[in-house]
């Protein structure tokens, strides 16, 4: 197996040859996301513009582990502060699942965590962030309806929905 670097930006692309077969391999960063629930079992979503699809999306808060040596939990705390103005401690984070979202061409992982907070910890829905424009609290039925009607279509967010549906007793 040999890799040849063909693009060297924030993301890196390599050509990999294995037994005369050639593959394009994306070297991107591992990522983290948070299922943030309040005492009313509402989920916190962020509204942000995604240039790759030229659309504004509703997603669970997330970010890349792009600081050398940073733990995933530390990255999640940083991303929640940046995207939602929420300050949480590492002890308030519970790992839900880790998976490989694009393993056909990358070995990066996505780790989903769960965080429970009091709704009043977040004082405003407007966020001053380059990525996120607003936060939205959504009850579980609204969350389900927005997935079914195609308003919410992000993979980690849909996976978070199915986790909640299987784990919350009062999810109807």
Q: What is the 3-state secondary structure (H, E, C) of 23-85?
A: EEEEECCCEEEEEEECCCCCEEEEEEEECCCCEEEEECCEEECCCCCCCHHHHHHHHHHHHHC
pLDDT at 170: 59
Question: Quick one: what percent of the chain has pLDDT higher than 90?
Answer: 81
**Angle made by CA atoms 55, 125, 130, in degrees to the nearest 5:** 50
Segment (H or E) for 164: helix 155-167
CA 41 to chain centre: 19
Question: pTM for this one?
Answer: 0.91
Going from N- to C-terminal start, the domains of the chain cover 2-167
pLDDT tens digits, residue range 105-163? 999 999 999 999 988 887 666 666 778 989 999 999 999 999 999 999 999 999 999 99
pLDDT at 162: 95
Write out the CATH class of domain 2-167.
Answer: alpha beta
Supply 136's token pair.
């939205």
């Amino acid at each position: 197996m040999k890799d040849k670097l063909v693009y060297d930006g924030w993301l890196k692309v390599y050509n990999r040859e294995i037994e005369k077969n050639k593959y394009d391999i994306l070297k991107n960063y591992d990522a983290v996301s948070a299922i943030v629930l309040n005492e009313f079992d509402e989920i916190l979503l962020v509204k942000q513009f995604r240039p790759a699809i030229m659309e504004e999306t509703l997603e669970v808060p997330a970010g890349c582990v792009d600081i050398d040596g940073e733990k995933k939990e530390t990255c999640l705390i940083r991303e929640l502060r940046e995207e939602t103005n929420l300050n949480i401690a590492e002890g308030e984070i519970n790992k839900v699942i880790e998976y490989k979202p694009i393993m056909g061409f990358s070995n990066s992982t996505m780790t989903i965590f769960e965080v429970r907070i009091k709704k009043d910890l977040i004082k405003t829905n407007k966020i001053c962030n380059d990525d996120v424009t607003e936060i939205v609290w959504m009850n579980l039925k609204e969350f389900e309806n927005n997935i079914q009607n195609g308003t919410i279509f992000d993979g980690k967010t849909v996976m978070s929905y199915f986790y909640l549906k299987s784990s919350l007793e009062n999810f109807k």
